[in-house]
């Protein structure tokens, strides 16, 4: 297989994964003034024990800094149809650095009435551990500041789909037991998906779930790959600009099951130490 053929495979996996996971995603916004919001990060909806949660980074929630935070629920599959913004309300489940993860319960009435075109990832699609095979394709969709624009009464933003791999021959993450790196060479990326050229800078990607596509694993086994095979393997939290790397928390260190249970059992904001 030559490089052109491999690049076509990577782009195909990116498109398939984007079609699979786009319905799970939400920007995280903050209200600057009445009816005027700005992007502060990315998130995704997850279903756990018949409840829907939005998951993101703890540091994304901290960016709200006293401002009202918003989740975006799609009531229509039409791309240009604006989403409904619903408030981020207590209780929060938070794990501080190095896990840097957070969970917020979504109002059942808002989900039912405003989120008819949104979906939640079944918790069963979260891997028990981050353990992709060597040179596996990893995928995420993040909302970038660069592709976000505040207009009166709405936030216009479009997710950026991206497929990459863990790097070879680079320094280990600061917390090797908690983290892994993903290559993000902005100067070399030519196409990130349908009609999206070039690579936006990563600010805003924080809180994006990282999927182990399992493409390489399944092809090595002689199987036929489908995006249904992909599992959540981590959550993005940091951009290392000089090394052109993104850093993610491993799924087993994000502690989402404990956060969900804590939110369901407590009416207060939850501040917890890392897993």
- For residue 1 the two structure tokens come to 């297989």
Cβ contacts of 129 within 8 Å, gap of 6 or more: 250, 251, 252
Q: What is the mean pLDDT of residues 136-163?
A: 82
Question: What is the reported pLDDT for 272?
Answer: 53
Question: What is the reported pLDDT for 193?
Answer: 47
Question: What is the reported pLDDT for 275?
Answer: 52
Q: Please tell me the distance from the alpha carbon of residue 179 to that of residue 173, in angstroms, as a whole number.
A: 6
What residues does 53 pair with on adjacent strands?
46, 105
271 burial via Cβ count (<10 Å: 0-12, 13-18, 19+):
exposed
Q: Please tell me the distance from the alpha carbon of residue 165 to that of residue 61, in angstroms, as a whole number.
A: 28
Mean pLDDT taken over the chain: 88
Q: Could you report the per-residue pLDDT of 154-192, keeping only the tens digit for each?
A: 667 778 899 999 999 899 999 999 999 999 987 665 545
Locate all alpha helices (DSSP H) within the chain, ordered by sequence: 3-21, 58-62, 108-114, 215-220, 251-254, 256-265
Q: Could you report the per-residue pLDDT of 212-245, keeping only the tens digit for each?
A: 999 999 999 999 999 999 999 999 999 999 999 9
Question: What is the reported pLDDT for 194?
Answer: 47
Q: Please tell me the distance from the alpha carbon of residue 209 to that of residue 200, in angstroms, as a whole number.
A: 18
Full-model pTM? 0.92
Of the two residues 55 and 169, the one the predictor is more confident about is 55
Question: What is the reported pLDDT for 77?
Answer: 73
Question: What is the reported pLDDT for 3?
Answer: 80
Q: Could you report the per-residue pLDDT of 59-98, keeping only the tens digit for each?
A: 999 998 888 888 989 887 766 667 788 889 888 899 999 9
Residue among 177, 176, 179, 167 at smallest CA distance from 233: 179
CATH class held by domain 3-272: mainly beta
Residue among 119, 122, 92, 118 at smallest CA distance from 105: 92
Give residue 257's region: left, alpha or beta (phi > 0; psi -120 to 50): alpha
Rg (CA), the chain: 18
């Amino acid at each position: 297989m030559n490089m052109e053929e491999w690049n076509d495979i990577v782009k195909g996996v990116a498109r398939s994964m984007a079609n699979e996971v786009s319905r799970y995603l939400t920007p995280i916004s903050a209200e600057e003034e009445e009816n005027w919001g700005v992007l502060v990060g990315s998130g995704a909806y997850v279903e756990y024990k018949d409840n829907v949660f939005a998951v993101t980074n703890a540091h994304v929630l901290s960016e709200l800094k006293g401002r009202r935070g918003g989740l975006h629920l799609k009531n229509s599959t039409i791309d240009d149809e604006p989403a409904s913004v619903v408030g981020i309300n207590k209780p929060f489940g938070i794990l501080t650095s190095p896990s840097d993860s957070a969970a917020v319960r979504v109002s059942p009435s808002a989900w039912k009435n405003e989120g008819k075109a949104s979906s939640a990832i079944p918790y069963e699609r979260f891997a028990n551990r981050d353990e992709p095979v060597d040179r596996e394709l990893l995928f995420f969709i993040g909302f970038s500041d660069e592709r976000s624009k505040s207009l009166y009464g709405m936030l216009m933003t479009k997710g950026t789909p991206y497929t990459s791999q863990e790097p070879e021959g680079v320094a280990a993450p600061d917390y090797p037991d908690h983290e892994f790196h993903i290559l993000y060479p902005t100067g070399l990326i030519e196409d990130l998906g349908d009609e999206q050229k070039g690579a936006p800078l990563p600010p805003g990607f924080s809180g994006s779930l990282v999927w182990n596509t399992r493409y390489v694993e399944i092809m090595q086994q002689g199987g036929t790959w489908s995006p249904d095979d992909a599992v959540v393997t981590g959550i993005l939290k940091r951009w290392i600009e000089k090394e052109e790397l993104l850093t993610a928390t491993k799924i087993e260190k994000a502690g989402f099951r404990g956060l969900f249970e804590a939110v369901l059992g407590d009416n207060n904001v939850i501040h917890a130490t890392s897993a």
